Amino acid sequence: MALYSRFLAEVDLKQTFYSHTFTNGLTLVGEAMPALESAAFTLLIPAGCAFDPAKRGGLSTLTCEMSLRGSGERDSRKFVEDLENLGLQRSESVSVAHTAFSGATLAANLPAALGIYVDLLRRPHFPAEQLDSGRMVAIQELRSIEDDPAHKVMLELRRRHYPDPWGRPSEGEMEGLETISINEVQDFHRRYYRPNGAILGVAGKIDWPRIRDLVGDLLGDWPGSIPPEPMTVAAGAKIEHLAHESNQTQIGIAFESVPFRHPDYFQATGAVGVLSGGMSSRLFTEVREKRGLCYSVYASYHTLKDRASVLCYAGTSADRAQETLDVTLGELRRLALGIEPHELDRLKARVKTALIMQQESSSSRSGSIAREWHHLGRVRTVEEIGRKVDELSCDSINRYIAAHPPGDFTVVTLGPQPLQIAA
């Protein structure tokens, strides 16, 4: 019996999944977790910043902010108070593809919480007198990027690595945020907040028939629409330096990977896990520990539905920036030589631990099942994922790396001096 199968048997982990697609295109996905007393939801609306019109960057983010300022019979204050009375821990975010709303509370309060968010989707107020306040929230978020150079360089890296609009930052641009009207907010909501393509994930101590019928009553007659897909424009310059007066230099590096739904996804993320994923990873060991070149270095896997990449970051002092870049690129290229058995063992241990810990959180599971449905059209069990992890081998990961060696890098630096990129 494989190691992970024994692990699953020891924790007696059982998973029950449900799914239902309504006639208007909304998909409800559920995972029953009867051992918990909580329940959570994650709602993915296909209204991401990729749909922001030209010169209106930030419209999706401002629409999200304004949607929270009253809906149905609740004004802005009543909306907040009613959610707090339910003990809801909530969050909102905008990505390239989606506007996401999520929340977790006691299981008995989930139906009431969903009812409040249905008003947000279908009956928002969009009070014109609060537009300037909402605008300032979005502008302050955009301005805060200037105080976080590490964040800024990674935003600019994605912008240059992916073709537009798939690398856009959700924070938008000052030109758009300063001039967006309330009519544009209302129109964006009307066009893109829609059931077809939307996914609602619920997890925790749920009564599936009751939740399914409730969502059907609340959203089953929500009318859909088919807005045009955004036009894709080729990515910009592969090498870019952003001048910034500082004693520090921020380095961002990106290269292509395979998307989440690709058959080699586990091999791709396994390779990234060897590069970065703890204090024994290659980047931490070679760049930070042995040479003391930087205060932070990592690589992460980033996926959209049809494309993906590995995004790397290093933050260092300006006088050591060139060496940091050279060594980091060297480690990325050295990955093509393959991984070692001890690296694979550590990788598997980290992945399996993370999977088990995720099962203790209804919030994590509601988000995971919604995202899996978006990428795969189904939800995988932990046992299925565990088998995939157990099947990973040095040979399988090395074959993937040989077919997809790190290269053709996009490099963005932010600091006092541009750096040289070795061929």
DSSP 364-384: HHHHHHHHHHHHHSS---HHH
Residue pLDDT, tens place only, 138-187: 999 999 999 999 999 999 999 999 999 999 999 999 999 999 999 999 99
Q: Which of 22, 21, 7, 27 is nearest to 369 (CA)?
A: 27
pLDDT of residue 158: 97
- C-alpha 16/C-alpha 262 separation (Å) is 25
Q: Where in the chain is the domain with CATH 3.30.830.10?
A: 15-219, 239-415
Q: How confident is the model at residue 225 (pLDDT cuts 50, 70, 90)?
A: confident
- C-alpha 227/C-alpha 95 separation (Å) is 18
pLDDT of residue 175: 93
- Among 79-83, 84-88, 345-349, name the one with the lowest average pLDDT: 345-349
pLDDT of residue 330: 96
- C-alpha 297/C-alpha 328 separation (Å) is 9
pLDDT of residue 227: 87
The class level of CATH for 15-219 reads alpha beta
Angle at 277 between CA 273 and CA 280, to 5 degrees: 105
Structure-token pair, residue 351: 């992945």
Mean pLDDT over 87-112 rounds to 98
Residue pLDDT, tens place only, 258-285: 999 999 999 999 999 999 988 889 999 9
SS3 content of the chain, % helix, strand, coil (to 5): 50, 20, 30
- C-alpha 255/C-alpha 246 separation (Å) is 27
Residue pLDDT, tens place only, 304-341: 999 999 999 999 999 999 999 999 999 999 999 999 99
Mean pLDDT over 2-16 rounds to 55
- C-alpha 261/C-alpha 263 separation (Å) is 6
Mean pLDDT over 5-26 rounds to 75
Mean pLDDT over 28-41 rounds to 96
- State CA 333 to chain mean position distance: 26
Q: Which of 370, 60, 64, 62 is nearest to 197 (CA)?
A: 370
Q: Is the pLDDT of residue 3 over 70?
A: no
On whether the 239-415 domain is CATH 3.30.70.100, my answer is no
pLDDT of residue 1: 35
pLDDT of residue 13: 56
Q: Is the pLDDT of residue 10 over 50?
A: no
Q: Which of 54, 79, 55, 51 is nearest to 65 (CA)?
A: 79
Residue 230 near residue 51, CB atoms below 8 Å: yes
Mean pLDDT over 399-405 rounds to 97
Q: What is the mean pLDDT of the chain?
A: 94
